[in-house]
Amino acid sequence: MKEKASCRCRPTIPLKRHFKRRTRAGTALLRNKTVRKIGISRTPMREALQCLSQDGYITIIPSKGFMIRQLNEKDMKDSIQIRCAIEGFCTTVIASQTDTKEGKELLRSLKMILDNMEEALNSDALEDFIYYDHQFHLLIVGYLHNDEFNQIFQRLLYLIHLTSQDALSTEGRIQGTVDEHLAYYNALKEGDARKLTIS
């Protein structure tokens, strides 16, 4: 599923990718310096920053630059509730279609991502692990081909990414995440709706 800017401003895509790779939440950035790093001219950059501000990714600092949004407890709670609602609905649909061609292909793709997550865990590659974790969730939501779900979920994953590294730094949390995803996959494969939850 391709990344999609919710306000349809294409320069937001390289900006978000840059923020994910290099920037922590709460970091203040200068607009001109970011323009030079990413290679976007001033006018598209200004439009992209307005889009990201509207979507809640950043806070614009007048005459200076912008700051990557720092999530508070309520932001995280709201994001997780919306994420669970969307994933829960998608999971219900998927569970009823696991014997179809599309359902079987999804299961194969989820298993490949699980293998990649375990490989990243064993090699202590945290950024890779976070990437595959997000891909796992995106596959679940993308299965329905619902553009509105995809758009909302892309935004949620970006916000959650801002705190993923800190959360996964807790001892045992990465292994716990793998175990939760594996349990979800097995329950989905077996059609056991009682166990179909994922974090």
The pLDDT value recorded for residue 132 is 93
Per-residue model confidence as pLDDT tens digits over 22-60: 555 555 665 566 666 767 777 777 787 777 777 667 778
Non-local (6+) Cβ contacts of 4 within 8 A are 147, 150, 151, 154
The answer to pTM > 0.75 is: no
pLDDT band at residue 4 using 50, 70 and 90 as cut-offs:
very low
Cα distance between residue 173 and residue 194, in whole Å: 23
Average of per-residue pLDDT across 161-174: 72
Taking only the tens place, the pLDDT of each residue in 55-89 is 667 778 877 777 777 777 887 788 889 989 999 99
